[in-house]
A and B are shown apart, each in its own frame.
Chain A
Amino acid sequence: MNWKLAAVVSLGGALTAAAFPAIAEDVVVKLWSRADRSGPLRAGNIVAAADTLNKMLAAAGSDKRVKIELNETNAKGYDDDSLDLLKAFAVDKGPDIFVLAHEWTGAFAEAGYAWNLEEHIKKNPELYGDIIGPLWQSVTYKGARYGVPQDSEVRMFFLNNDKLRKLGMSDQDIAALPAKVDSGQFTANDLCDLAGQAVEKGVAKYGILHRPNSGPDFQMLMEAFGVDPYDKAAAKLQVSKAALRSFYTWIKYCMDKKALFANNTSMSWDAIEQASFSGDEAAMLFHGVWRVTDQMKAFNMKGRDDYFRKYTWINMPAGKKGGKPTNLSHPIAYAVSAKSKNRDLAAYIVGLASQPYLNLQHAVTTNHTPINYGEQSMPEIVDKGWALVAATPMLKYATFMPNHPKIGQYNAIMFKGIQGVETGRLNAQAATDFVIDELQNELGKDVVIRN
């Protein structure tokens, strides 16, 4: 009897084992995304897209399911995150989908890790046909698209109106500032004079606070002094010594006026946020439109009117009177790994995550500008996206960062120069010499040095 029982059990076990994969066959798609408080839905939307896909599969009677395995990294910024990701790919631990700052597209494409999505995008106009045209430029490298932008944004100086009022400025004076900046009447030096006054008169502890680490922000400041980082014709990075010296001279001017803070680059993000928001200790903050979310929360503001009573936005003023202001748009994008076994599936998931409904959730909850034309007329953006609507005109002066594979290194070197001047270790000329030396040493033939 015993052998019969054993046979029945064995047969049952074999049948169960055979049946199980058919019941729950998961296709695992790995996602790499930096844990970013200013955009948690970049990863969340991929998971939501997979959920949609799974519902479709279930409806079609398929046993397959897509499971997103999220690796949320804790790098300090997108530059550090990209370096970590390059290492992960190098040891064959790369994801199927990754979130990257658009200027790294070239580096990943050149290394063979980002999949050329040109054909996929062309074949699927129903997924990508509504994406705002100029945004594609940010993920295009050597004529092909290697990513799908997920958002865009506007960088700016947030002026703290309360501090300006304490300096004796009327509401009319404050309201007139953005137009004065745009017409070139109010220059970069004027900006530091104003911020410096706030510190000198004890109105604010900090004049202008900016990001503490290397990142895209500084490009628009440098552009105001004529530093154009990219030679499109030669497809090389470039720098003009004279323009660079003007930029560092301005940084030194701001330090002398006490508009900038010597320890800004050794502050943590938390300390900067605390000083700018809940501490209300800064006259100005230089960052991006998504910060509206933090500001609304910190000062318990109810809506647009409350907000603009407290803050005024300006572009980076021109370096010289009569010049043009500058701005920067810095899209974050999804890319699909060229090494992925499931790259077609991964690309379709990216396509689903880029549809208006999901993208709008990211846009309105974090104040990033949406990627689809259609989103701009959706009720939610009209209700909750007032900040985005208000910021859009500033994009008139926006540029993108070049998609050169070594732009991350270029930025890091420029940042060291800023840090050198701010901490009093270098004067403008020494900072220029240091940066030129470093650029030549690190980037060699990839950078053209001009006088």
Chain B
Amino acid sequence: MADQRRRAAPSRRLHPHGGQRSGEAASVGGSDFARAQRTRRRANFALFLGPALVLLACFFVAPVIVDLVLAFTDMDRTLAVTTLTLENFERMFTRDTRLLASLGITAIFVLATLGIFNVTFALLLALTTTAVPRALGAFFRAVWLLPRMSPSVVYALLWLWVVDPNERGLLNQILVHVLGAAPLDLRNNHPLLVIILANGFIGASLGMIIFTSAIRSIPEHLFHAARADGAGSLAIVRHIVFPALRWPISYMTIHQTLSLLVSFEYILLITGGGPFYDTTVFSLYAYRRAFENGQYAYGAALSLILIVIGVIAALGLWRLMDMRRLLQAPRIEVH
């Protein structure tokens, strides 16, 4: 904004009443300059914001429009549309017996993954890896980032091996051979726990990085001053670190809520949404309806609900976390 104001100033000075030798010449020269400025502003706009806008239009706005249109059609497995109809919504609100259960599973999945792992555990990782010597901290962060760097399928296969109900599974090898306990079948008996753990272990690494960088940006002298004042480690965390993490935590909460609402990659790979519908979160439910039997229009209608839920969650959290303040222009300008 400040830059724009500075750029706009010369054009005002060159306007007809700006004290030029000839008013007409000044007017012509001024309008030329203004036109050039406008052109440059447009060029800058197209150059710097254009690619982002094209990206937004193609991959964010267009899919929503396509989804909206499809939801009101009867598109089936042949991809043919024969009529516009409200039947998908009638079915969704009056006859779909699995819809509410799926929303419930989504709520548990999002809240648990977010609350336990993506924020809390991420925070714990950031605090512990910044409290230990730098090299050691960097090593542990790198270890936690490994799952994010490996292909999803490999990560999912590892989880399948961990929770394999046979004695071959890693968890059961430990339970049976080390602890002498009975083997567990987590995938069938506690499938929701499995997908929360699998998503949480990979999700925590993003928060860890963001929180670590926020902790690192706290001026060093504050820690020294606190120590000199006799503050203990917990007091430092409470009075110096936590206040500095307010915005990163708010941002991570909003970002991860939306991300978890629509992601089902690991769920599909590890449980396939099962057993039965036990881990079919809403996004996977829409996918299964659309692609397991080719009910594309119904899948689109279900996705529309997800879009609405996403928008409500984003706006609600935005307000709750007072994110507007984070994006306000700074009141102090450093020249």
8 Å CB interface, A104-127 against B: 107, 111
Q: In whole angstroms, what is the CA distance A111 to B79 when docked?
A: 10
A271 to B192, CA, bound (A): 23
In the bound complex, do residue B272 and residue A412 qualify as a contact, i.e. CB atoms below 8 Å apart? no
A-B contacts besides A425-B275, A442-B293, 16 pairs, CB < 8 Å:
A83-B291, A83-B294, A86-B294, A87-B77, A90-B79, A107-B77, A111-B78, A262-B275, A409-B293, A419-B274, A419-B275, A423-B274, A424-B275, A425-B278, A440-B95, A441-B96
* Partner of B188 from A87, A263, A409, A441 at Cβ < 8 Å: A263
- What mask results when residues 21 to 45 of chain A are scored 1 for a CB within 8 Å of chain B, else 0? 0000000000000000000000000
Closest to B77 in A: A86
How many chain A residues touch B (CB < 8 A): the figure is 27
| A230 lies within 8 A of chain B by Cβ | no
Q: Residues on A close to B: CB < 8 A?
A: 83, 86-87, 89-91, 107, 111, 262-263, 265-266, 408-409, 412, 416, 419-420, 423-426, 434, 437, 440-442
**Chain B nearest Cβ from A110, distance in angstroms:** 9
- Contact: A90 with B276, CB < 8 Å? no
Main SS of the interface on chain A? helix
- 11 contacting pairs across A/B (C-beta < 8 A): A90-B79, A107-B77, A263-B187, A263-B188, A266-B274, A419-B275, A420-B276, A423-B188, A423-B274, A424-B188, A442-B293
- A412 and B79 in contact, given A266-B272, A423-B276, A425-B275 (Cβ under 8 angstroms): no
* Contact A266:B275 (CB < 8 A) given known A86-B77, A87-B77, A441-B96: yes
B165 touches A425 (CB 8 A): no
What residues of chain A lie closer than 8 Å to B79, measured between beta carbons? Answer: 86-87, 90-91
By a CB distance below 8 angstroms, the chain A residues around B188 are 262-263, 266, 423-424
Q: Is B212 an interface residue (CB 8 A)?
A: no
Residues of B within 8 A of A425 (CB): 275-278
- Interface check B41, CB cutoff 8 A: no
A266 with B187: in contact, given A420-B276, A425-B278 (CB under 8 Å)? yes
Write out the residue numbers on chain B whose beta carbons fall within 8 Å of the beta carbon of A441. 91, 95-96
Asked if B271 CB lies within 8 Å of chain A CBs, one says yes
The reply to whether A265 and B275 form a contact with Cβ atoms under 8 Å apart is yes
Q: How many Å lie between the Cα of A58 and that of B178 in the bound state?
A: 71
Which residues of chain B have C-beta atoms less than 8 A from A442's C-beta?
A: 293, 295
B73-103 CB contact bits vs A (8 Å, 1 = yes)?
A: 0000111100000000001000111000000
Q: Are A408 and B91 in contact (CB under 8 A)?
A: no
State the CA gap A369–B271 with chains docked (Å): 36
Residue in contact with A90 in the complex, picked from B78, B97, B187, CB distance below 8 Å: B78
Q: In whole Å, how far is B277's beta carbon from the nearest beta carbon of chain A?
A: 8
Contact A266 B271 (CB under 8 A): yes
User: Is B292 interfacial (CB 8 A cutoff)?
Assistant: yes
Q: How long is the Cα–Cα vector from A408 to B295 in the complex, in angstroms?
A: 12
Residues of A within 8 A of B95 (CB): 437, 440-441
Most chain B Cβ neighbours within 10 Å, of A266, A408, A437, A441: A266
User: In the complex, are the beta carbons of A419 and B77 less than 8 A apart?
Assistant: no
For the complex formed, measure the closest distance between the CB of A378 and the CB atoms of chain B, giving whole angstroms.
40
Taking a contact as CB atoms under 8 Å apart, the answer to whether B293 and A408 are in contact is yes
